[in-house]
Amino acid sequence: MKVVYSRLARATGLESPNFWQYFGTRLVDLAEIPEGAIVLDIGTGEGSVLIPALEKAGVHGLGIGVDINFGWFKHALLEIQKRSLRNTALAQMDATNLGFMNGLFDRVLCGFVGWNYCFDFVRQEFTSPDTMLAEISQVLRAGGRVGISSWAKQEDLDWLGEQFRMYLPAYVADQKMGSASTVYSKENAKGLERVLREGGFQDIEIATETAEFVSTDEEEWWCQVWGAGWQEHIDRVARTDANKFKQFKKQVFDNLQIYRRSDGIHSRKTVLFAFGKKKSLGGLLSNN
């Protein structure tokens, strides 16, 4: 599967390249949102999950987006206004302390929120209580479903990390960057299944999907990896030594040609989708 970036993607800002919209829509599709559903989107960001969820829920449904960062809502609001969507609300909120009544939502969706805050996906064990999933379970109705998307691999981001270690070893050592994938949280199917099972969910389903994306040129690719997690390191190098940064960027662009095809720069991203069903009232009673 291949998805081509349009230059129009830049209109949504550096923080929102098209792969967010693509995988956001896939999460919504797999969540099987019924007409008239009440949906909660955690970590709304620029609306890549909320917007397609609203369209699935229809005019009789309701979609609420929450994010801890209020500034993100400007992107979602623009898209909501553009599509004249009325059945929605946005709220600045911490996902570990949701302020909704119990059992309100038919679906709760979490696009790339990350569970590494409480679970070690290498050792397959909890490092702290999972307060976020506990909150999700509380606001989800009996029989409702939670849907999670999570990064398994981002080819271009990992590759850029290798370039940092090759050409800027002193910076890597000074910043204690460690592995190439430190700019995003990698999770795995086994860990997500345990997270959901320990959270009291049943009928757990895990799916993996890889999609290939195409940036139209090197500068567009650079903007997209900048906005996908590398901005802190890229900006710090640029501020520290402008000449070294210029040389580094040229070396990256030269090496990037191994991913160039006739239509642009290709890269693959692999995502995990995990779903679980909250026990129905009958199931809860039978377990007591």
64 burial via Cβ count (<10 Å: 0-12, 13-18, 19+): buried
pLDDT at 16 over 80: no
Determine which of 70-74, 152-156, 184-188, 283-287 has the lowest per-residue pLDDT on average. 283-287
pLDDT of residue 11: 34
What is the tens place of the pLDDT at every residue in 166-206? 999 988 888 777 654 468 889 999 999 999 999 999 999 99
pLDDT of residue 223: 92
Q: pLDDT band at 15, cuts 50/70/90?
A: very low
CA-based nearest residue to 21, from 89, 112, 146: 112
pLDDT of residue 228: 87
Cα 139-142-144 angle, rounded to 5 deg: 75
Rg over CA atoms, the chain:
20
Number of H helices, E strands in the chain: 11, 11
pLDDT of residue 182: 66
Q: Residue 281: which CATH number?
A: 3.40.50.150
> What total number of domains does the chain contain?
1
Q: What is the mean pLDDT of residues 15-43?
A: 90
Domain that holds residue 91: 2-286
Q: pLDDT band at 99, cuts 50/70/90?
A: very high
What is the tens place of the pLDDT at every residue in 131-155? 999 999 999 999 999 999 999 999 9
Q: How far is CA 124 from CA 97, 114, 177, 226, 281, in A?
A: 25, 15, 23, 30, 30
Beta strands 201-215; 264-278: pairing state: antiparallel
Q: What is the mean pLDDT of residues 91-113?
A: 96
pLDDT of residue 254: 98
Could you tell me which residues come within 8 angstroms of residue 262 by beta carbon, excluding any fewer than 6 positions away?
Answer: none
Cα(254)–Cα(163) distance, rounded to whole angstroms?
11
Asked if residues 272 and 206 have their Cβ atoms less than 8 Å apart, the reply is yes
Asked if residues 118 and 80 have their Cβ atoms less than 8 Å apart, the reply is no
What is the tens place of the pLDDT at every residue in 228-269? 889 999 999 999 999 999 999 999 999 999 999 999 999 999
Q: Residue 173, Cβ neighbours under 10 Å: how many?
A: 10
Q: How far is CA 120 from CA 84, 129, 186, 203, in A?
A: 42, 12, 10, 23
Instruction: Indicate the SS3 state at residue 207.
Output: strand
